[in-house]
Amino acid sequence: MKFDELGLRPDLLKAITKLGFETPMPIQEKAIPILLEGKRDFVGLAQTGTGKTAAFGLPLIQMVDPVQSHTQGVVLCPTRELCLQITDDLTKFSRHVQGLQIAAVYGGASIMNQIRQLKSGAQIIVATPGRLLDLIERRAAKLEQVSTIVLDEADEMLNMGFKEELDKILSRMPEKRVTWLFSATMDRGVARIAQNYQHDPVEVSLGGRNESAANIDHLCFMVHEKDRYQALKRILDFLPQIYGLVFCRTRAETQQVAEKLMQDGYQAESLHGELSQSQRDAVMRKFRNKNITILVATDVAARGLDVDDITHVIHFKLPDEIATYTHRSGRTARAGKSGVSIALINLHERRRISDLERRNNIKISLEKIPDGHAICENQLIALLNKVIDSPVNEEDIKEHLPAAYEALCHLDKKEIIKRFISVEFNHFLEYYRHAGDINVKPKFKEPGQGNQTQRPDNKKRRDKFEAYNTARFSINVGRQNQINAGAIVRLVCTHSGIPANQIGEINLGRDESTFEVSKDAAEAVKTSMNNVELDGRPIKVRSAGNSPRPPQGGRQGGPRGGRKGGPQGRRRY
Ligand code: AMP
């Protein structure tokens, strides 16, 4: 199928051609004709990188009347980065549309500039939910005549605790509008949004629900916990051309892994919530320019990250949530390319692999960590390819060549090759000379060999784990500071780098609140929440002890079951 068969206007087709898009990607082929009719609500289950921005962006632009200056379309998305990316894409798609104004509004930037921009008129607003709500309340964003609302990465917006804001925004939208919802996964929260705010939507899915992209190879390596970092290094050494993302679970771990990699000579840096916006932008610039080729990131910090050619995603540690694994993996294999998702696991995590396979309908094959010989061979081939592909600037080297010929004239061709390889290579050979095998030899059914039946006592053990493995903190803000649970989740995630799913029950008080995090994440919260401010107010987070829940209490009636004000109603660890 071609773009001009989808029903798009010539001015949009011209812009697409200029962008070099030749044929529509599957989600575009499926969604654009439906969305252009402008009548039906829509659910698109698609990962980031599948071309979904154009899938909703082109019809959205075509639906808008640029002669009218009022706001007609709104796109909601979870992060500032994604907000800017979508705005940039929409601006490119609409370069031949006269009079169309697109405004990006997001938190963490001057609200006054955004108010000014909205006052001067924007037919399309691209926004993060918190800031848009603020602007609606200040009467700067006027949405009474909006006819199309797009929820992009709906699952991520819920993960980031925007449930309350979404509910408020959607309930204030005109009844007569269409709602297009895009999400990588269809979990309960997203299904609830669809149920409450959509009417008989058309559902289009790339693959099954909660399914990963088909062009990703999923691998895992099993090592002892003590060898996890060694295993990472071996994988990186085995892949000299890697342009990859390494995911860690906490900010502290992210920093630690990135620092070790840098010390060990890798072109790596970390991306986590403690970086200021300008530091974050600098890291991203280096990554995009490929001055660094390995980015070590927390899940929260990597949200909205839109880099097209990532070759590998490495889960240094597996996330708790299936959806997070899908999101992480979806950072590779974008724009029709293929990619590899690699999980490092220890013996105790093997069952999680079966779970991921079953729930995502994928196959994760257990591979062996390459040995020193294989690594050295790959490095050598990469080096030789680099030599072969290096451009020779005859003019510039001409005057230096005689000295070089003279210095090497006593060596024949074979000797020169040997020495040249040794210069680049001795450190690798030396490092891997005595490198042993760090693969764990499993004595059980291996991951990647199909699903395993759960032992009957699993649920009991998991409940016990959930009940005891949490720590509670108090925080000196509450309802009187106009704080909701979502704001607490975002504050904690941004500063500690822990994923939102590590936060459990949140109890909002008048001027003090408490929240619960998994024990694994407690250290990161303790060490990173000093010197933090919220709206100019110093924030104090103190340990409030372990959660006093009895293990047999179950969910119903326990504090978790009876949780109020939590962004997702119920969280799992
Ligand atoms: P998205 O999922 O919207 O972030 O898109 C992922 C990448 O694919 C972006 O870099 C887009 O510019 C690119 N893209 C989108 N549609 C097409 C297309 N039809 N042909 C080629 N590239 C595309």
Across residues 107-127, what is the average pLDDT? 93
Contact status, residue 221 vs residue 343, Cβ threshold 8 Å: yes
Residue 53, ligand 1, Cβ within 6 A = yes
pLDDT of residue 336: 63
Across residues 320-335, what is the average pLDDT? 82
The DSSP H or E segment spanning 543 is strand 541-546
| Weakest mean pLDDT among 132-141, 289-298, 433-442 | 433-442
| Weakest mean pLDDT among 90-99, 366-375, 551-560 | 551-560
Q: How many angstroms is it from 333 CA to the middle of ligand 1?
A: 12
> How many CB atoms are located within 10 Å of the residue 300 CB?
25
Q: Give the atom of ligand 1 at the shortest distance from the alpha carbon of 47.
A: 2
**What Cα–Cα distance (Å) separates residue 79 from each residue in 75, 300, 305, 521?**
12, 10, 9, 22
Residue 48, ligand 1, Cβ within 6 A = yes
Retrieve residue 193's tokens: 């949004």
pLDDT of residue 298: 92
* pLDDT bracket for residue 148 (50, 70, 90): very high
Contact status, residue 90 vs residue 124, Cβ threshold 8 Å: yes
Across residues 174-192, what is the average pLDDT? 88
Retrieve residue 427's tokens: 């450190």
Retrieve residue 306's tokens: 């839109």
* pLDDT bracket for residue 286 (50, 70, 90): very high
Q: What is the mean pLDDT of the chain?
A: 83
Q: What domains are defined for the chain? A: 3-205 (3.40.50.300), 216-372 (3.40.50.300), 378-432 (no CATH), 458-543 (3.30.70.330)
**What Cα–Cα distance (Å) separates residue 418 from each residue in 415, 425, 570?**
5, 10, 63
Q: Which of 115-129, 290-304, 414-428 has the highest mean pLDDT?
A: 115-129
Contact status, residue 503 vs residue 515, Cβ threshold 8 Å: yes
Residue 25, ligand 1, Cβ within 6 A = yes
Q: How many angstroms is it from 20 CA to the middle of ligand 1?
A: 10
Q: Is 149 left (phi over 0), alpha (psi -120 to 50) or beta?
A: beta
Q: How many angstroms is it from 314 CA to the middle of ligand 1?
A: 23
pLDDT of residue 550: 31
198 vs 334, which has greater pLDDT? 198
Q: Give the atom of ligand 1 at the shortest distance from the alpha carbon of 306.
A: 4
Q: How many angstroms is it from 50 CA to the middle of ligand 1?
A: 7
Q: How many angstroms is it from 359 CA to the middle of ligand 1?
A: 27
Q: How many angstroms is it from 334 CA to the middle of ligand 1?
A: 8
Residue 102, ligand 1, Cβ within 6 A = no
Q: Give the atom of ligand 1 at the shortest distance from the alpha carbon of 53.
A: 3
Residues 6+ apart with CB under 8 A from 287: 269, 293, 295, 307
Nearest CA among 146, 103, 148 for reference residue 128: 103
pLDDT of residue 14: 96
> How many CB atoms are located within 10 Å of the residue 480 CB?
10
pLDDT of residue 287: 94
Q: Is the pLDDT of residue 490 over 50?
A: yes
Contact status, residue 213 vs residue 207, Cβ threshold 8 Å: yes
Across residues 447-453, what is the average pLDDT? 40
DSSP letter assigned to residue 111:
H
Q: Which pLDDT tens digit goes with each residue over 391-420?
A: 888 888 999 999 999 888 888 889 988 888
The span from the CA of 478 to the CA of 536, in Å, is: 15
Retrieve residue 497's tokens: 């780098």
* pLDDT bracket for residue 465 (50, 70, 90): very low
The pTM score is 0.55
Q: For 468, phi and psi rounded to 5 degrees?
A: -95, -25
pLDDT of residue 294: 96
pLDDT of residue 546: 63
Residue 306, ligand 1, Cβ within 6 A = yes
pLDDT of residue 548: 43
The alpha-carbon radius of gyration of the chain (Å, integer) is 26
Q: How many angstroms is it from 502 CA to the middle of ligand 1?
A: 32
pLDDT of residue 126: 98
**What Cα–Cα distance (Å) separates residue 227 from each residue in 230, 239, 312, 346, 433?**
5, 18, 20, 9, 17
The span from the CA of 331 to the CA of 304, in Å, is: 10
Across residues 16-38, what is the average pLDDT? 92
Residue 308, ligand 1, Cβ within 6 A = yes
Q: What is the DSSP string of 498-509?
A: --GGGEEEEE--
pLDDT of residue 138: 93
Across residues 131-143, what is the average pLDDT? 94
Contact status, residue 96 vs residue 172, Cβ threshold 8 Å: no
Q: Which pLDDT tens digit goes with each residue over 302-311?
A: 876 778 789 9
pLDDT of residue 560: 25
Quote the percentage of the chain above a pLDDT of 70: 88
The span from the CA of 200 to the CA of 61, in Å, is: 23
Mutate to test the pocket of ligand 1, among 53, 79, 92 (most ligand atoms within 8 A of CB): 53
Contact status, residue 513 vs residue 487, Cβ threshold 8 Å: no
Q: Give the atom of ligand 1 at the shortest distance from the alpha carbon of 50.
A: 2
pLDDT of residue 433: 75
Q: Give the atom of ligand 1 at the shortest distance from the alpha carbon of 57.
A: 3
Q: Is the pLDDT of residue 214 over 80?
A: no
Across residues 329-352, what is the average pLDDT? 84
Q: How many angstroms is it from 335 CA to the middle of ligand 1?
A: 5
Which residue's structure tokens are 């601006």?
A: 91
